Chains A and B, each alone.
Chain A
């Protein structure tokens, strides 16, 4: 079965992002296809490379990156939600004349249409958070 996930809540503040991560592991372990994980609303904070949680706590950002690398996942951050919350790639940082960008490797910034496209091609779209 083809799955896509939508993540709407910030990491750490809410368990939703971690649940999405665990759900991803479970469905991949069962041999399903994960078409896309779309980060929207406060979920865009999953994509920052500036989070520095304590060493003895679970690092969700790094875990997303490792999982994406291992399974060649499509981790997409909504551009409009990201810009409003300070999640930028180098192109957007240039466009808005910002001193730096902070999107973590393995994440890409794209439009909200990617959420709808994910729904169109997936058998199941599972939402986390909000």
Chain B
């Protein structure tokens, strides 16, 4: 049975493993033939920035994995407008140029459409 599952990623890319393990969950989900969406909000927005230099802290670059989401068949990838604005981040700074930007009301609608929400 196919379900609508939204994964919300709300943590910065480094400093703890949450963002990395959220992304692993999304990639794992893609092979289960479910209707998966991914929403980046709050500090999760920082994961989307171009020009991350994670090699200096011996970490894999999370921004290089994010484009793999669409390769794995996850087409619904969203970023929260207010979270971008609060952090003074422009859309042109993001690694995905086709990411869908959602207002508060859009997020509200997205949440009500889901069968399950996985928040990281």
Contact = CB atoms under 8 A, between A and B. Distances in A.
Interface of A: 6, 40-41, 80-81, 84, 111-113, 115-117, 119-122, 125, 127, 130
B61 interface: no
A41 B118 contact: no
A125 B118 contact: yes
A84 B60 CA distance: 15
B21 A125 contact: no
B18 A125 contact: no
A127 B118 contact: yes
Given A41-B17, A41-B21, A119-B34, 6 more contacts: A113-B31, A115-B118, A116-B32, A119-B115, A127-B118, A130-B119
Contact of A116 (B1, B18, B21, B29): B29
Contacts of A80: 24
B21 A115 contact: no
Interface string B26-69: 00110110100000000000000000000000000000000000
Contacts of B17: 41, 84
Interface of B: 1-3, 5, 17-18, 21, 24-25, 28-29, 31-32, 34, 115-116, 118-120
A77 to B, nearest CB: 13
A116 B28 CA distance: 8
B83 to A, nearest CB: 18
Contacts, number: 47
Given A41-B18, A125-B118, A116 B34 contact: yes
Contacts of A41: 17-18, 21
A114 to B, nearest CB: 9
Nearest to A122: B116
Contacts of B2: 120
Given A116-B5, A116-B28, A116-B29, A40 B119 contact: no
A130 B118 CA distance: 11
B32 to A, nearest CB: 4
Q: Which 9 residue pairs spanning A and B have beta carbons closest together?
A: A112-B28, A116-B32, A116-B29, A119-B116, A125-B116, A113-B28, A41-B21, A120-B3, A119-B5
A127 B5 CA distance: 14
